[in-house]
Amino acid sequence: MERHWNLTKNSGYKLMEKKQNRASVVWIPPKIGNFKMNFDGAIRGNPGKFGYGAIIRNEFGNFVGAKYGSLGINTNNMAELVGLLAGMEWCVAHGIQDVNVEGDSQIILNGISNKNFENWKLEAVRPNIHKISESLNNFTLKHIYREGNAAMDWLANRGIECDDSIQLTEKEELPDRLIEILAADRGRFPKTGIG
């Protein structure tokens, strides 16, 4: 491993290590009997047209369902929050009760965990997420770096192109590129890049 020391700033080496660790982030399936729901948001401009997405997989990493789309113009944080809400609603509608949730937005995860968003628009959505989470048997929230959330990043960006919400329940409905990303996740292949 090549190391770069920055003598004027002590954090130079630590930052390089962190980036290298992120380059090997992988998606890890949930424990047996649980499902994992990853969510993400994407936006063109901020505010701008946004896309959101959520994908649900079982303990083997197999596709169970997904929802993605766009609701028009908003902010990047609202795109992330809508992705979380859409995924949770999908789980409830399909009888999934044990859900491990992962997202790459620390702002959204902190706001949900702390039961408070400083932004009133985000705060208006938060109670819906808490209400849904209380109806589940098991619900956990966890941060994952973008490299481990590649399927959702791709799907949320496709959502920007939509005029409505799209639900997928069959693997045969998935675009080829998404199938490739899911296969890489299931094989626990590290993502390249630092993103």
Instruction: Give the whole-angstrom CA distance, residue 101 versus residue 140.
Output: 6
Q: What pLDDT is recorded for position 189?
A: 55
Residues 28-41, mean pLDDT to the nearest whole number:
94
Q: What pLDDT is recorded for position 22?
A: 65
The beta-strand segments (E) located in the chain are 35-45, 48-57, 63-69, 73-74, 98-103, 138-143, 165-168
CA-to-CA dists, residue 15 to 47, 144, 168, angstroms: 30, 18, 39
Spatial CA neighbour of 153 closest among 100, 83, 72, 99 = 83
Q: What pLDDT is recorded for position 191?
A: 53
**Which amino acid, one-letter code, is at 24?**
S
Q: Which DSSP symbol is given to 114?
A: T
Put residue 164 in one of left, alpha, beta given phi > 0 → left and psi -120 to 50 → alpha. beta
Burial class (CB in 10 A: 0-12, 13-18, 19+), 47: middle
Which residue ranges form the domains of the chain, and what is each CATH number? 28-186 (3.30.420.10)
Model confidence over 142-155: pLDDT tens digits?
A: 999 888 888 999 99
Pairing of the two strands 63-69 and 165-168: antiparallel
Q: What pLDDT is recorded for position 113?
A: 86
